Amino acid sequence: SYELTQPPSVSVSPGQTASITCSGDKLGDKYAFWYQRKAGQSPVLVIYQDTKRPSGIPERFSGSNSGNTATLTISGTQAMDEADYYCQAWDSGTAYVFGTGTKVTVL
Amino acid sequence: QVQLVESGGGVVQPGRSLRLSCATSGFTFSTYTMHWVRQAPGKGLEWVAVISSDGSRKYYADSVRGRFTVSRDNSRDTLYLQMNSLRPEDTALYYCAKAGGGGVAADPFDYWGQGTLVTVSS
């Protein structure tokens, strides 16, 4: 079955850049999606089709996807960005797959 | 605006059944694929099931195939998940999610409900 691996945690200082990786076999050949889940809230789509931001998502969120790794970058991280982040892709053998999740802490 | 409201969760004994509902508004329900996604306590997100806009195509995660059934009533703008033979490992917060459109591989989960908690315990 297809798997997506993320680092369990990422720490960042306010105003700095946070990068969250998502690794999977030939992930670059698929579309990657990213979801933010704040404590006690439902997930929110922050990046779709590798690089696109839904309406209402701040420009500081950006994405890339190449080779075996997709990356979510948060530039100028704010305290409100503290959350769990999940990548997701679709695989023909496994269907919809979520990454293991990364907890972003803004110190 | 788009709203998804799940209901039907609760505490149930192993082996019993439960039906979840997801009432929707703010979009043309009958034209969108819909999903169920769950999150067990302390765990990550897990996709559970998907149903096409007209209900003709349904797919399931291996962990629930043969026990869970997804369905929809386009006249009531409502999505359902019938869960049979429940196991303790099915304990989770269950979300319904709307597909964004764009084809299976390019389709995000663009709106999520608030979730309904299912606890399977004796």
Span A2-40, pLDDT tens digits:
999 999 999 999 999 999 999 999 999 999 999 999 999
Convert the pLDDT of each residue in B47-89 to its tens digit: 999 999 999 999 999 999 999 999 999 999 999 999 999 999 9
DSSP single-letter state for residue B84: -
Q: Hey, which residues 3-32 in chain B have their CB within 8 Å of chain A?
A: none
- Amino acid identity at B90: D
Residue B105 pLDDT exceeds 80: no
B chain contacts of residue A1, beta-carbon cutoff 8 Å: 62
Q: Hey, which residues 72-91 in chain A have their CB within 8 Å of chain B?
A: 86, 88, 90
Q: Count chain A–chain B contacts defined by CB atoms under 8 A.
A: 58
Contact A42 B59 (CB under 8 A): no
Residues in Cβ contact with B99 at an 8 Å cutoff, skipping those fewer than 6 apart: B32, B33, B34, B35, B50, B107, B108, B109, B110
- CB of A2 within 8 Å of any CB in chain B? no
Q: Tokens at residue B1, please?
A: 């605006």
3-state DSSP call for residue B72?
A: strand
| pLDDT for B111 | 96
Strands ordered across the beta sheet of A69-74: A18-23, A69-74, A61-66
What residue has token string 């195509």?
Answer: B57
| pLDDT for A93 | 85
- CA nearest B110: which of B98, B92, B94? B98
Strands (E), chain A: 9-12, 18-23, 33-37, 44-47, 61-66, 69-74, 83-91, 95-98, 102-106
Question: Cα A82 from chain centroid?
Answer: 13
Alpha carbons A65 and A23: distance in angstroms, whole number: 10
Sign of CA pseudo-dihedral A27, A93, B51, A5? negative
- CA nearest A3: which of B46, B92, B68, B109? B46
